[in-house]
A and B are shown apart, each in its own frame.
Chain A
Amino acid sequence: MAEFFAMGGYAGYVWSAFGVTLIVLAGNGWFARRRHAQIIASLRRNAQVESTEAQPGFKEVMT
């Protein structure tokens, strides 16, 4: 087991490459999820503002 983690002396290289890769992959999934949720939330906010706002057609500028 220790031999496996030592990676023939290249432990630092191999594990940092694989570690960063997994972090970036996880980040991709997380950011994509979060962005979708944020967009839904802002659309919902706009819809609420519009339904309570007196003037029709008022829209919040979204980023």
Chain B
Amino acid sequence: MWKWFHKLASPPHFYRLAGLWAPWLMGAALILIAYSLYAGLVLAPPDYQQGDAFRIIYVHVPSAYLSLMAYTMMAVASAIGLVWRMKLAHAVAASAAPIGASFTFLALFTGSVWGHPMWGTWWEWSDPRMMTELILLFLYLGYMALRAAFEDRKRADRAGAVLAIVGVVNVVLVHYSVEWWSSLHQGQTVMNEDATMPASMLTPLLTMILAFTLFFGAVMFMRLRGEILLRETNARWVRRMVTGEAAHG
């Protein structure tokens, strides 16, 4: 088991595996996205309260879920990279950031577009989820800006890792503090979350979450390959690959 893990974590091996997996993950993700779009936009009935506007949930919730998942992944990978000085973990953190930031943007955008017909506003300052996502976006951007400030990749990796770990504490704190804050503002209940969804509405949501996760995995592997190469510039396998097979990549 340990041996298997060690082999998986070796850069050339992982580089090859990621190259093998990425197209399959991407294919599965695209098929599942297509199915979920059809099921969510056509098969699912309109909501009795929100009409067809509720369908935005099928892109909003998966994006919000992935924005948090990617940040958690980034922070955990950063911690592993700092403690065990593992290059692959730093590569994971560096790859997760831009993808996570894009999903955070999506969660904010779709949330805003959904909020307008439902709450009558594009932006609700007292909503803890919106605020958490916004701060999350700032943290992603800060992480990427910090990385970009260094020419030395090792330093960018490790400095970014410290920031990612500090930020994860902050995300939790922001969420609870805004929740506490907005409870003082007597914020209206925006959605009755107790309402149970019929299967025809719930299934496309679950398949879309799975599809987005697969898509995230596929893009992750694509980015990881580049990040691994950058960290292994002087390794013999990279040199051989770059100079040898011209058709690679």
Contact = CB atoms under 8 A, between A and B. Distances in A.
Main secondary structure of the interface of B (DSSP, over half): helix
Contacts of B117: 10, 13
A14 B233 contact: no
B114 A27 contact: no
Nearest to B60: A17
Contact of B219 (A20, A29, A63): A29
A8 B239 CA distance: 58
Given A36-B223, A36-B226, A39-B226, A13 B248 contact: no
Interface residues of A, number: 34
Contacts, number: 100
Interface in A32-59: 32-33, 35-40, 43-44, 46-47, 51
Contact of B109 (A20, A31, A62, A63): A20
Interface in B83-126: 98-99, 102-103, 105-106, 109-110, 113-114, 116-117
Contacts of A33: 222
B238 A10 contact: no
B198 interface: no
Contacts of B233: 43, 46, 62
Contacts of B243: 44, 47, 51
